[in-house]
Amino acid sequence: MNEDLHWQDDAAVPRYRSSAAARMVNIPVATLRVWERRYRVVGPSQAPSGHRLYSSQDVRRLVLIKQLVDQGNGIGMLARLDTARLQAMVDEVAGVAAALSAPPSAPDSRPDAMRVLLLGSGFTPRHVHALQGVAGAHIVAHLGDGADTEL
């Protein structure tokens, strides 16, 4: 068996009790239980002793959800998304943060230039062109439909 498949199998093995999983995610155990009961964010296994057991995959999913909740996203919306989409959202937020923290790259940009981040799929090339013509504006990125489009 190759190493990647072994890791994936191992990541699915339930091994962490509620208290350990909650500590790894940095949430109270009560929050973890509410997320399970109301939103079904994960489906932990149950040990013969009755304890809930979480896999590494469960914990990773919970970490992503916690990051996105901390950024203002609603748990109800996040709970319906698969782990790959959650990861894409976290990556997108990291890209936005990087774009906003990087110094303007335009040769004529000034430190006091207005940096613009376009969010949403409704921006057409016409909108982008019009905004690029605004004096002092520098478009750092256009994020629409979940994909980064550096400008």
pLDDT of 70 above 60: yes
Q: Lowest mean pLDDT: which of 73-82, 110-119, 141-150?
A: 141-150
**pLDDT band, very low/low/confident/very high, at 148 (cuts 50, 70, 90):** very low
Instruction: Report angle CA 57, 149, 79 to the nearest 5 degrees.
Output: 30
For 109, half-sphere exposure in the C-beta direction (CA atoms, 13 angstrom radius) is 16
pLDDT, tens digit, 9 for 90 and up, residues 36-62? 999 999 999 999 999 999 999 999 999
Q: Which SS3 state, helix, strand or coil, does residue 70 take?
A: helix
The H or E element that residue 67 is part of is helix 56-70
Question: What does the alpha-carbon distance between residue 60 and residue 87 come to, in Å, rounded to a whole number?
Answer: 10
Which pTM was predicted? 0.67
